Amino acid sequence: MEHNAAKIGTVLVIGATGSVGRHAVAEAINQGYETRALVRDASRASRLDQAAQLVVGELTLPESLNAALAGVDAVIFTHGSAYGDAKAAEAVDYGAVKNVLTALNGRRVRIALMTSIGVTVPGGTHDWKRRGERLVRASGNSYTIVRPGWFDYNEENQLAITLLQGDDRRAGSPADGVIARHQIARVLIDSLSSTAAQNVTVELVAEHGAAPADLTPLFEAALKDRNGSFDGVRDRENMPLGSEPERVRRDLDTLRKASA
């Protein structure tokens, strides 16, 4: 595996107590990173790996994130709001990304962002996940954006990690693809040390077969996002910037200018 933990010493997991976040914390520790876990209430984080450093913060309050972000080399986003709640989607799926980038105040970190397969189907709460992706691309940080399929619908022999691009699977059901939560965590954490994974957007599913020992060839086969684009390299152009809410356009403009 292409990996050098010395290049990235400290990582912060956003959404650490969630169903994917717990796996991401454990995987980061297993790979040798000093791992911080952002939590709203430390007393409710007993299920996290005990080697993690708990840091208290609120995703909707950027000023509460300063201590969590101090000195980190990478941020892993595994957060998410309840499906169908548009207000929460803006505040959490989009707002958390915006607030972390705001709190970083232009300091460069490596980013791994989890969104969802089907995120480019317009309408509904997924639009806010897609807008969160756009913030990351506009920020000037090196990133990997991972769009997993349906969690833990795998059959027993369905562990062959597969990376897709173009977000063409649109059934809105497990027919779009399935992936185990621990595999999502592995892809997110492995991407941090992979040059091939930098500035790449992929959909993540598992096909029948064994899990690969090394993800580097999968990352190398993926096309990188176009420089200066707000969207993934093969995404459909179905969310024109000119039709976006003014506040979103303003956020993108602010980040792009700061990264110039």
| CATH value at residue 181 | 3.40.50.720
Query: 114 pairs with which residues across the strands?
Result: 146
Q: Which of 26, 25, 31 is nearest to 6 (CA)?
A: 31
In a domain, 4, yes or no: no
User: Is the residue at 168 inside a domain?
Assistant: yes
* SS3 category, 91: helix
pLDDT value at residue 6? 43
Assigned domain for 160 exists: yes
Q: What is the pTM of this model?
A: 0.96
Domain membership of residue 104 (yes or no) is: yes
Q: Give the chain's domain count.
A: 1
- Within-domain flag for 3: no
Beta bridge partners of 12: 36, 75
Q: What angle do CA 105, 23, 183 make, to 5 degrees?
A: 105
* Phi, psi angle pair for 157, to nearest 5°: -105, 25
Residue 163 pLDDT: 98
| E-only strand ranges, 154-238 | 160-164, 178-179, 200-207
At 259 the pLDDT is: 83
Task: List the chain residues with pLDDT less than 70.
Answer: 1-6
Placement of tokens 């010395």 in the chain: 6
pLDDT computed for residue 124 by the predictor: 86
Q: Does 100 reside within a domain?
A: yes
- Is position 88 within any domain? yes
Domain range for 43: 10-259
pLDDT at 260: 78
pLDDT in tens, 225-257: 999 999 999 999 999 999 999 999 999 999 998
The answer to whether residue 5 is domain-embedded is no
How buried is residue 205: exposed, middle or buried, by Cβ count under 10 Å (0-12/13-18/19+)? Answer: buried
pLDDT at 83 (0 to 100): 77
Among 100, 114, 96, which Cα is nearest to 24's?
114
Per-residue model confidence as pLDDT tens digits over 144-167: 999 999 999 999 999 999 999 999
